[in-house]
Amino acid sequence: MNDRVDKKRKDREKEISRRDFLKYTGTVVLVVGSGCYVAADKGSPKLIKVKEGGAGLPASEGYILVDIKKCQGCTSCMLACSLVHEGVESHSLSRIQVIQNSFESFPDDVTIEQCRQCVDPACFKVCPEDALKTNAKYGNVRMVDRDKCTGCGECVEACPYTPSRPIVVSDEDYKGDMKSRKCDLCANTPYHWDQAGGGPNGKQACVEVCPVGAIKFTKEIPAQEGDDGYKVNLRDRNWRRLGYPIS
């Protein structure tokens, strides 16, 4: 990726770092100020300190991880995402974005950018309509209440990552009004193939469709600082047997 985008990313990550809430891999959230603990996973509680978590959001019970060195750039994840959510095939409507440059050298030729289900999501804080919510039914995944959303795009601007994870698009269900969308781990998917549906306790289209296993679902909260928690190594012995590097 180019220098300008890299700089934008680094600047935003520094900013987040200053806010000092993005460095944890545990599963219990401590909201400083409100003094409350939020249990996100009863199995192996660890403390998460959130300095300015506002409402003290419960952590999402699920996250998408990607391996950008394993991705084959087919964008099947993007097509699956738009298909199960919108019933159409589209790259621009996908909540996960694969960006590639055919002429670039491996591994800089491909990146995958997915919503991080942030422990303290910047998009939530700026929404003037309070349209971004955690959904307890779906393991506290971060979702958009489209009835409330006015499509103002504040969430897009506030997202500290590049490209911004929320997208604002014309919505046929609302007479073409602009509405925000973001990854919900396939919780709200009218075209989900599985009767049990998606969300943290269901199946995510991008994970299931990826032909090479470059996308993984986890219930563990990834390290919030930097990319390492979300961009991981999913290559194993089987991958090496095909002649690809695994380190």
Contact status: 191 vs other proteins (CB under 8 A): yes
How many whole angstroms separate alpha carbon 169 and alpha carbon 21? 30
Task: Pull the structure tokens for residue 244.
Answer: 């690809």
User: x/- binding map, residues 94-123, to other proteins, per CB under 8 A?
Assistant: ---x-xxxxxxxxx-xxx-x----------
Q: Edge-to-edge strands of the sheet including 47-50?
A: 36-39, 28-31, 47-50
User: x/- binding map, residues 41-70, to other proteins, per CB under 8 A?
Assistant: ----------------------------xx
Q: Looking only at residues 138 through 177 of this chain, which bind other proteins when binding is defined by CB under 8 A?
A: 162-164, 167
Among 76, 150, 218, 233, binds other proteins (CB under 8 A): 76
Contacts of 104 (CB under 8 A, 6+ apart): none
How many whole angstroms separate alpha carbon 72 and alpha carbon 62? 24
Please choose, from the candidates 114, 119, 174, the residue with its C-alpha nearest in 3D space to the C-alpha of residue 142.
119
Among 43, 92, 147, 175, binds other proteins (CB under 8 A): 92
How many whole angstroms separate alpha carbon 202 and alpha carbon 161? 26
**Which residues are at the interface with other proteins (CB under 8 A)?**
1-2, 4-6, 8, 69-76, 79-80, 82-84, 86-93, 97, 99-107, 109-111, 113, 162-164, 167, 191-193, 205, 208-209, 211-213, 236, 238-239, 241-245
